[in-house]
Amino acid sequence: MIRQRADDIEGQRRERFRPDRVLPAASAMPAAAALALFGTLALLPPVHDARAQAWPAKPLRMVLPFPASGPTDIVARLVGQKLGEALGETVVVDNRPGGGGVIGATVAAKAAPDGYTMILGGITTFGIAPAVHRDLPFDPVRDFAPVTMATRQSIMLMTHPSLPVRTVKEYIAIARAKPGRIDYASSGPGGSGHMAGELFRLVAGVDIVHIPYKGAPPALNDLIGGHVESMFGTMLAAVPHVRSGRVRALAVTGPQRAVALPEVPAFAEAGLPQYDASSWNGFLVPAGTPRPIVDRLNVELVRILRTPAVQERLVADGAAAAPSTPEAFGALIKAEIAKWLKVVKSASIRIE
């Protein structure tokens, strides 16, 4: 019985591989070609990956953790429009101000990592917040994937024309003569302006009073109106008011004068070479966003930031385009966190 079964199997094998047997059309190709085809099919991505390659297939959201019409909002809307044109989808700027950028960053951190949410964050949210907030609801390194740095911006010390000073030395002199009586506005607790002011207090040895606002626009408006005597803030949005004479600029941070206001000296020229509190911002996405999407966003954003029209617009407003690789931007964030931790400890700053 066993012998008969073996003979039957052998007969079936010979019948299957008879040279004169006509095979189905799908099997008529040479063995090498068939193996190549099957190998190619095996390498093809599954159906769900093919759908992912169609990104973007709907509008994108750019979370902005600051108010509309503020300095960062200018960058967001300038770049967002051009990014939408490049991707063929609308980019919606979603302003989520409050908490020195913490509210907006928390919204972005909790968003699905599917490539449809990004955030334009900056020194306040990703460099200073970890140092000043005891219970930050997000981790700027763990919860986000850097895409590219966007701009660098000088911080400017501005005064209302009614304050009888025209130089940094005169500002320091009046602050020392009136300890605790000269105030300075900022965009909010823990913001770049606030930290620039605190660093100035340490370096210059003066006692000036911080007046926090909910964003740069209301702070700048009160400076123009004379409700506060001075302000530390970015040049974006402030340049037109300096040119009109409604605000007086005393100095800017950075190694040299700003192109937008060449008549305003750098702090190094003004007698404080050790003082630097320049601001920056950049694009990030929720951690876990597919790397191909991060790379595509990086390519498009870097290209946009390098176009002459965008660079000219930014320079005119007091900023400089500073596109980078995701890795370089990530390294900057870590270095800034370490830098501002030292300042916060020295000034004993804590925001609950």
The position carrying tokens 């964003």 is 215
Mean pLDDT by 10 residues, the chain (352 residues): 46 46 43 46 44 82 90 91 97 91 95 98 91 89 98 94 97 97 92 91 94 92 97 89 96 90 94 89 98 98 97 88 97 93 80 62
Q: Tokens standing for 41?
A: 């099919």
Q: Tokens standing for 107?
A: 């919204």
Q: How is 290-340 classified by DSSP, letter by letter?
A: -HHHHHHHHHHHHHHHTSHHHHHHHHHHTEEE----HHHHHHHHHHHHHHH
Residue 352: predicted pLDDT: 57
Q: Is 16 helix (H, G, I), strand (E, B) or coil?
A: helix
CB neighbours of 37 closer than 8 A, spacing ≥ 6?
29
Residue 89: predicted pLDDT: 97
Helix then strand then coil, % of the chain, to nearest 5 = 45, 20, 35
257-275 burial string, b = 16+ CB within 10 Å, else e? Answer: bbebbeebbbbbebebeeb
Burial class (CB in 10 A: 0-12, 13-18, 19+), 112: exposed
Residue 351: predicted pLDDT: 67
* Domains, the chain: 56-153+278-347 (3.40.190.150), 155-252 (3.40.190.10)
Query: CA-to-CA distance for 274 and 278, rounded, in angstroms?
Result: 12
CA quadruple 209, 212, 213, 215: dihedral, nearest 10: 120
Residue 6: predicted pLDDT: 45
Residue 228: predicted pLDDT: 98
